[in-house]
Amino acid sequence: MIQNLNKHERESLHEALAKSGQKITPQREIVYTVLLAQRDHPTVDEVYNRALETMPGLSLATVYNCLETFVGCGLVRQVNHERESTRYCPNLAPHAHFRDESTGRVHDIELPKEILDQLTKILPANFETETIEISFQGRTKSSTQN
Amino acid sequence: MIQNLNKHERESLHEALAKSGQKITPQREIVYTVLLAQRDHPTVDEVYNRALETMPGLSLATVYNCLETFVGCGLVRQVNHERESTRYCPNLAPHAHFRDESTGRVHDIELPKEILDQLTKILPANFETETIEISFQGRTKSSTQN
DNA sequence: GTGAATGCAAAACCTTTGCAACTGG
DNA sequence: CCAGTTGCAAAGGTTTTGCATTCAC
């Protein structure tokens, strides 16, 4: 069900962990594998349950730890919507999110660089931005559900 | 300390409540008054504590109820940042938020209509947007702290 | 009068923490 | 070998819920 990491993916993981002085553990490999296998912005609990299939003894706290580590390494982004459980996203390209209110699903939206540039221009001069988050809420009209 | 609502503000409140078939209660007036008095994006708990000064018996659950009602009426917006407590904002004009990571303070950023227009254009055709949220995280360089 | 709103306490929910045991480099 | 990581269970903080009481209309 869950494919192993390919050579490139494994390298990215090992490199990112090494760069921030973190160890490579089987749990981290599995959690990262789960994230890449199905890019549907899973919650911690969803990651946990998917990972259990591969590593039955895995603990929920460890999944929290792994994901936090990945966020710290810049391997993964958090996606929050109101008070719902935090979701995780391994897409590193700058992108926005669209949350379909009827399904709860979150879709990645490509974000043209010009828009990002324009956005930083609307800030007062003494505001230094580190990150920008853009999220849409709405519905998808049937046809191409994805 | 907390000014009463002026005529216009009280009318907005009553109108918005009436329009969605809600009752006007002293608790709702006070909670709304607190929100308008200090537009610093307070948390529920902050609203609660400020409101207690005017109405000592007020309950926290009621503050949650009032704020939820206002959000439902479109009188107030929620502002979420990661897992922190939800904050509330009575600014109805389209605007973005800038969160200063060193102080935790949230600032409103005016949002030019062109940018909103451009943003809706980056979505696939079958995605119908209801709301867009834009939030910056970063720091303000000393000088004009606010 | 009546359905909605309030107040209280308990419960729910997600996430974090403390700590002992284990393990990757 | 040993700092970093894991696993477990308990604690934490925010928000929601159930229910009796009160209130706005």
Q: A99-120, pLDDT tens digit by residue?
A: 999 999 999 999 999 999 999 9
Sorted by where each begins, the domain ranges of chain B are 7-79, 93-140
**Amino acid B1: pLDDT:** 63
List, as one string, the DSSP characters of chain B.
-PPPP-HHHHHHHHHHHHHTT----HHHHHHHHHHHH--S--BHHHHHHHHHTT-TT--HHHHHHHHHHHHHHTS-EEE--TTSPPEEE---S-EEEEEETTT--EEEEE--HHHHHHHHHTS-TTEEEEEEEEEEEEEE-SSS--
Chain A / chain B CB contacts < 8 angstroms: 117
Q: State the pLDDT confidence band at A143, using cuts at 50, 70 and 90.
A: low
pLDDT (mean) for B47-70: 98
Q: Cα distance from A129 to chain B (closest Cα, Å)? A: 4
- A82 interfaces chain B, CB cutoff of 8 Å: yes
B7-79 maps to CATH 1.10.10.10? yes
Is the confidence at residue A144, as pLDDT, over 70? no
Q: Which residue is nearest to nucleotide C9 (CA to C1')?
A: B61
Q: State the pLDDT confidence band at A4, using cuts at 50, 70 and 90.
A: confident
- B37 interfaces chain A, CB cutoff of 8 Å: no
- B136 interfaces chain A, CB cutoff of 8 Å: yes
- Give the right CATH number for A93-140 from 3.30.1490, 3.40.50, 3.40.1000, 1.10.1220: 3.30.1490
DSSP label at residue A92: -
Residues of chain B above pLDDT 70, percent: 97
Is the confidence at residue B55, as pLDDT, over 50? yes
Chain A residue closest in CA terms to B144: A126
pTM of the entire structure? 0.93
